[in-house]
Structure 1
Amino acid sequence: MSLIFDPQIAERVRASFERQHAMRLIRATFPVVEQGRTEIHLPHWQGVEQQHGFVHGGVVGMIADSAAGYAAMTMVPATDSVLTVEFKLNLMAPADGEKLIARGQVVRPGRTLIVTKADVFAIKDGKETLCGLMQQTIMVMHGKVEK
């Protein structure tokens, strides 16, 4: 795997995010793409809330999975794609804020498996509160590009 970041990788990863209809459905945005690191931002709105008014834990997991998965995607060649095979999510605090930020990061790149993590923060009155912590395993699908 290359450790030199190619700007075309960022374009390819952003294009993949745009094809993910689930991210559009929840109004998520993708402002940060760097080698081994990404961020997904999610506004808090009624459509992603659970019964107490917090962002639903499933949605927290959704943005954590995508942020960490896309961090992994920045580490593979354009001829390959990635797929989540496992993740563990700890919900540390209610996802209560004006928006959430999921910060994905590659922990260990590999040829077949990539280990990643994501921290999800609720932003309220300018203060970040860790509300989700995820560890993930990504499988590199050699020679298989996205549709």
Structure 2
Amino acid sequence: MTGLDLQMARKVLDSQPFSGLVGARITAFGDGSATLEVDIRQELRQQNGFLHGGVLAYAADNSITFAAGTTLGPAVLTGGFSIQYIRPATGRTLIAQADVVHTGRRQAVVRCELFAAGEDGAKTLCAVAQGTVLSATPS
């Protein structure tokens, strides 16, 4: 138990200038999970009209790190992650749902599924990611 809650997670996200630029918001946080959302808008698209892969990678990385923070505490850093793109992201909203798979004393392994939600709310899986997050607290 880290003592962190959704309100604190939102403050942390709001303190990240890049997250503000992308327009990210955290909609769920706690018990080994975190969900980030980004509205899909023109400025975030690539040349074919799809959401840019870098935005998906950002959402995966940040949701993975927030999920790990629920088990490791607030001082965490991404150790590394990989992402597999399944299909182009189109629609209204990108949703990155991350869940801790394992937490040790100093690191956590986290999986993330990224969905594109349409105007009707239907979600389509567009990428999956997995990462390792490290505690930045000195032991």
User: TM-score, normalised to structure 2's length?
Assistant: 0.91
Q: 1:117, CA displacement in angstroms?
A: 1.1
Partner of 2:20: 24
Q: 1:76, CA displacement in angstroms?
A: 2.3
SS at match of 1:84: strand
Matched, 1:37 2:43: no
SS at match of 2:35: strand
Pairs within 5 Å for 1:69-108: 69-77=65-73, 81-108=75-102
**CA RMSD for the aligned pairs?**
1.7
Match of 1:50 among 38, 46, 51: 46
Matched, 1:139 2:98: no
Q: How many residues align?
A: 138
Q: 1:112, CA displacement in angstroms?
A: 1.4
Q: 1:75, CA displacement in angstroms?
A: 1.1
- 1:104-133 superposed Cα distances (whole Å, 9 cap, x missing partner): 111101111110011000012322111110
- 1:5-51 superposed Cα distances (whole Å, 9 cap, x missing partner): 63x44443322111111111011111111221111111110111000
Task: Give structure 1 stretches of 5+ with no counterpart.
Answer: none
- Evaluate the alpha carbon distance shift between residue 77 and residue 87 of structure 1 in structure 2; reply closer, same or farther with a 3 A threshold: closer
Give the Cα–Cα distance (whole angstroms) in 2 for the partners of residues 49 and 94 of structure 1.
11
SS at match of 2:20: helix
Give the Cα–Cα distance (whole angstroms) in 1 for the partners of residues 13 and 131 of structure 2.
18
For the Cα contact (< 8 Å) 1:40–1:67, is it kept in 2? yes
The one-letter amino acid paired with 1:126 is: G
For the Cα contact (< 8 Å) 1:13–1:74, is it kept in 2? no
User: TM-score, normalised to structure 1's length?
Assistant: 0.87
Counting aligned pairs with the same residue, the percent is 31
The one-letter amino acid paired with 1:82 is: V
SS at match of 1:121: strand
Pairs within 5 Å for 1:107-118: 107-118=101-112
SS at match of 1:75: helix
Runs ≥4 in structure 1, deviation > 3 angstroms? 8-12
SS at match of 1:51: coil
Q: 1:83, CA displacement in angstroms?
A: 0.4
Task: Give structure 2 stretches of 5+ with no counterpart.
Answer: none
